[in-house]
Amino acid sequence: MAPPWGTLAAVSLDTGDILWQVPLGSVPDQLRLPIPVTIGLPNLGGPLITDGGLAFISASMDGNLRAFDLETGAELWHDRLPAGGNANPMTYRLSANGKQYVVIAAGGHGKLGTRRGDYVVAYALP
10-residue mean pLDDT series, the chain (126 residues): 85 96 78 62 88 93 93 96 92 88 90 84 93
Domains within the chain, CATH numbers bracketed:
7-124 (2.40.128)
pLDDT score for 70: 96
Q: In Å, what is the CA distance from 37 to each residue of 27, 91, 100, 106, 124?
A: 6, 29, 31, 22, 28
pTM: 0.86
CB atoms within 10 A of CB 36: 11
pLDDT score for 30: 53
pLDDT score for 7: 92
Q: Answer whether 102's CB lies under 8 Å from 89's CB.
A: yes
pLDDT score for 29: 55
CA-based nearest residue to 61, from 118, 2, 116:
116
Q: How many angstroms separate the CA atoms of 40 and 92, rounded?
A: 29
pLDDT score for 34: 56
Q: Based on the number of CB atoms within 10 Å of its own CB, is 73 exposed (0-12), middle (13-18) or buried (19 or more)? A: middle
